[in-house]
Amino acid sequence: MSAPETAPVILVERRGHVALVTLNRPEKMNALNKAMWIGVRDAFRSVSEDENVRCVLFTGAGERAFCPGADIAEFETARANAAQAREYGHLMDETMSAIADCPHPVVVMIKGICVGGGLELASLADIRICQESSRFGVPINKLGLTMGYKEIGALIGLVGRTNALEILFEARVFGAAEAKEKGLVNRVVPDAEIEAEGWACATRIVDGAPLVNRWHKKFARRLAQPEPLTQADYDEGYESFGTQDFQTGYKAFLAKQKPVFEGR
């Protein structure tokens, strides 16, 4: 079913400790326009500030696509020359930073097509789950366009330089099995099971200690930076022992009970 013209292009819904962020242009297969880049940026900035969120589940409306990339029809008015493209690129960088900098674990649930800008968005998630029928690629050279540094960096971070350049140079659209082999996705599931698996993943994350999950994400980001670790970095690795969640966790383990973490 197509979303009405007045429907918001990005939906944000809270289900317990999970924030569900949805690209919502199913009539266009969730092709990205300027309003969507703004909406995704603002959605991730908002959920990042909410300490009650323990996991962000990111997906696209409809059954055909997570996102096929840019809405090419918008190019004539919004990205028709280098000056416009530069301004638009700043917005894209802000959006990608908002996803990458989100302190909560981010899981993307990929239905169908995940190409171009859609793959760029998905590459910034922490966990990517797709359908067996999902398709991937970055055929950007067929449009005569370059991918920005931030987007290329995210792609290289997932699949390595050689695979990233293969994806960019050949501009092929390929299947889920190859995406899994290349490291683009963590998990491939039967089409009918995508939502169940996405929510099961989010539930497993939510059941863990939220402060620990945020620390682990922070530590992984820090290890990707070239600067040597400082003593303050090392010391932060022990701060979890001073939390109430640590008391809850180890006592529940000894009592053979399921811990209920409060995030403090």
148 in the same domain as 109: yes
DSSP, collapsed to helix, strand or coil, labels residue 65 as strand
- Give me the amino acid identity at 179: A
Give pLDDT, residue 89.
87
* Average pLDDT over every residue of 115-119: 95
Looking at the structure, tell me whether residues 23 and 49 fall in a common domain. Answer: yes
Residue 79 is predicted with a pLDDT of 81
Place of tokens 């690209």: 23
Residue 67, both tokens = 């996102």
Final residue of a domain: which of 206, 230, 245?
Answer: 206
Q: What are residue 188's DSSP bridge partners?
A: 130
Share of the chain above pLDDT 70, in %: 98
Can you give the CATH number for the domain in which 234 is found? Answer: 1.10.12.10
- How many angstroms separate the CA atoms of 116 and 171, rounded? 10
pTM of the entire predicted model? 0.92
CATH number at 18 reads 3.90.226.10
Q: pLDDT tens digit string along 220-247?
A: 999 988 999 999 999 999 999 999 999 9
Integer Cα distance of 52 and 29 in angstroms: 31
21-71 pLDDT, tens digit each: 999 999 999 999 999 999 999 999 999 999 999 999 999 999 999 999 988
State whether 143 and 216 are in the same domain: no
- pLDDT score, position 108: 98
Regarding predicted confidence, which is higher, 126 or 87? 126
Query: Bridge partners of 20?
Result: 13, 57
Going by C-beta distance under 8 Å and a sequence separation of 6 or more, which residues neighbour residue 199? 18, 57
Q: What is the C-alpha to C-alpha distance for residues 79 and 76, in angstroms, rounded to an integer?
A: 6
Averaged confidence pLDDT in the chain = 93
221 and 148 in a common domain: no
- Looking at the domain assignment, is residue 263 inside a domain? no
- 161-184 mean pLDDT: 97
96 in the same domain as 81: yes
State how far the Cα of 81 lies from the Cα of 140, in Å rounded to an integer: 16
Structural domain harbouring 97: 10-206
The reply to whether 121 falls in a domain is yes
pLDDT value at 3 more than 50 = no
Indicate if 198 and 235 belong to the same structural domain: no
Same domain for 224 and 164, yes or no, is no
In a domain, 235, yes or no: yes
Q: How many domains does the chain have?
A: 2
pLDDT at residue 2, as a whole number: 46
What lies within 8 Å, CB to CB, of 11 at 6+ separation is 20, 21, 22, 24, 61
Q: How many other CB atoms are there within 10 angstroms of residue 101's CB atom? A: 13
196 and 219 in a single domain? The answer is: no
> Which pLDDT value is given to residue 76?
80
> Which of 107, 95, 81, 142 minimizes the C-alpha distance to 17?
107
Q: Residue 169: which of 157, 161, 177 has the closest Cα? A: 161
143-165: per-residue pLDDT in tens? Answer: 898 888 889 999 999 999 999 99
The answer to the question of residue 163 being in a domain is yes
Q: How many CA atoms lie within 13 A of 196 on its CB side?
A: 5
Asked, for residue 259, whether it belongs to a domain, the answer is: no
Residue 2 counted as domain residue: no
Within a domain: 264? no
Looking at residue 85, its pLDDT comes to 84
* Residue 56, phi then psi, degrees to nearest 5: -110, 125
Confidence of residue 80 (pLDDT cuts 50, 70, 90): confident
Q: Residue 1 has what pLDDT? A: 44
One-letter amino acid at 33 equals N
Identify the pLDDT of residue 263.
87
Segment holding 41, helix H or strand E = helix 34-48
Provide the pLDDT for residue 5: 54
The pLDDT value recorded for residue 101 is: 95
